[in-house]
Structure 1
Amino acid sequence: MSIRRMIAHLCLALGLLLPGSGLVARNSAATRPTIVLVHGAFAESSSWDAVIARLSKDGYRVIAAANPLRGVRRDADSLGALLRSIDGPVVLVGHSYGGMLISDPVADRKKVVGLVYVAAFLPEAGESALGLSGKFPGSTLGSALAPGVRLPGGDEDLYIEQSRFRHQFAADVPAAQARTMAATQRPIARSALGEAAQEPAWRTIRSWSIYGTADLNIPAAAHVFMAKRAQVRRVIAVPGASHVVMVSHPDAVAALVEQAAAAR
């Protein structure tokens, strides 16, 4: 047996890649982090479909978490339970209110190697989604909301009025798709939007940010302010993109997530 063949067999046994041999590392997928996607208010897990398709094609394991949208503490606990069920490193990706959850320090953070904020809140301790969205002019979400649905205990579920959904939330999404998104939107409890964040995880975990310059839920000025304050590794402003930049520009979002997953 030639020396090269002997090395090739050894590499197969160890699951390594031998340059020029055509052998693929057996453990390459295992060393990649799992990508956990956390949707925000007025969206649901399918809002990540196009991003999931791209990440999966590139060999990443992806989980689109079901966000209860009941309150920062309660929702962060739910996310923490999911993280504890995953073996190996994780990159957390949050959209909108989902940024409040991936920032939360209580969830199991030992395995989180990166945070990606997609048109999302990067709160400081004591800040709420409601306060951050109103910190700079430009958000028209309040006037686009339907009358609240009363809940036991006095809270309310909030929805975006379906007739205003596309303009407010998804202006750069095809009309038929936006109508489906409006019909399937997940409500958020009013109290969740006012619940304060704790000491943020972005202080100790590497972070990235992407947003649309035509976001009507969280003004572009707020995105710039939060990303600069958190000293994110890279911030991408997508010209003319709406609040659902992961739906209208999935390639850009997936590319940034993969950049975070590959960072060392």
Structure 2
Amino acid sequence: MESHGQRPTIVLVHGAFEDSSIWSGVIPRLRREGFPVIAFANPLLGVAVDTAYLRSVLNRIQGSIILAAHSYGGAVITQAGAEDPKVKALVYAAAIMPAPGEAATDLLERFPDSTFPTSVEPVNYMLPDGTNGTYLLYQADKFNNNVAADVPDSDAALMFITQRPMNLAALNQKVTVAGWETKPSWQVRTLRDLAIPLEEQKFEADRAHAHVLEVDSSHAVTVSHPDVVADAIEQAARAVSN
């Protein structure tokens, strides 16, 4: 993959129960500003596997990289961001920011009020050896209110219908390193987020010494407030380019 001049490449990492279409409102803004953009198709199989896939994408990029994530994708960029010296900053848009030794489930249970544990249901699937694995899916009657309350109903319905299952390992696997410990980070803090409690978002940003942009948004901030997310990414890009 060729280098794109002085502008860093923006790599977008979606979270669980979704695909790269969540960035549809963010990508045009970044491209208008001249940033090369890659929307990574997150496998949602677990931090180790997902990070390995992301690493294969980063290895093909020449020059500086900004990683931006939504939701569970934050765990993936936290791990990958520490491992690649080309990654200069991390942007967490309603995304988890785990520390080494933490899994997504640890963050969602640290403070009360997350609706996530009661909004998903386990679904078994059969592996080639005849044993069962477990995926998680969002429940139909919980999705709109708990994830996308400020998204038009027709768009929220489409998001639910096209949701991708999350392997249980993605929820339980711990990160071993954290890019935000050594690299600058930005948090888009979602004030009406029912999945990641506000108290948890503040806790994570404080320990990471992250730059914070607050927005009156549900968890689906990349869909409902794409310009705010793009602003955060552009701020990160400008900061590391100076």
Distance 1:147 1:196, change over 3 A: closer
1:249 partnered with 2:225:
yes
Among 195, 204, 207, the alignment partner of 1:229 is: 207
- CA distance in 1 between counterparts of 2:99 and 2:182 reads 13
- CA distance in 2 between counterparts of 1:247 and 1:30 reads 29
Amino acid at match of 2:5: A
Gaps of 5+ in 2: none
- CA distance in 2 between counterparts of 1:34 and 1:163 reads 38
Among 35, 39, 64, the alignment partner of 1:64 is: 39
Q: Among all aligned residue pairs of Structure 1 and Structure 2, give the percentage whose two residues are the same amino acid.
A: 44
- Retained in 1: the 8 A contact 2:122–2:135? no
Residue 147 of structure 1: how far off its partner (Å): 4.2
Distance 1:151 1:211, change over 3 A: farther
1:200 partnered with 2:200:
no
- CA distance in 1 between counterparts of 2:91 and 2:42 reads 16
Partner residue in 2 for 1:209: 187
RMSD: 1.4
SS in structure 2 of the partner of residue 216 of structure 1: coil
- CA distance in 2 between counterparts of 1:190 and 1:211 reads 26
Amino acid at match of 2:155: Q
Gaps of 5+ in 1: 1-28
Partner residue in 2 for 1:119: 94
Partner residue in 1 for 2:109: 134
**TM, length-normalised to structure 2:** 0.93
List, as ranges, runs of 4+ consecutive aligned residues in structure 1 with deviation greater than 4 Å: 105-108
1:100 partnered with 2:75:
yes
Partner residue in 1 for 2:162: 184
- CA distance in 1 between counterparts of 2:126 and 2:102 reads 25
Greater share of strand residues, 1 or 2? 2
- CA distance in 2 between counterparts of 1:44 and 1:107 reads 24
> Which structure has the higher relative contact order (CA within 8 Å, separation 6+)?
2
1:73-132 CA distances to partner (integer Å, 9 max, x unpaired)?
110010000000111111000111111011105875111111001111111111110110
Residue 70 of structure 1: how far off its partner (Å): 0.2
Larger Rg: 1
- Retained in 2: the 8 A contact 1:169–1:243? yes
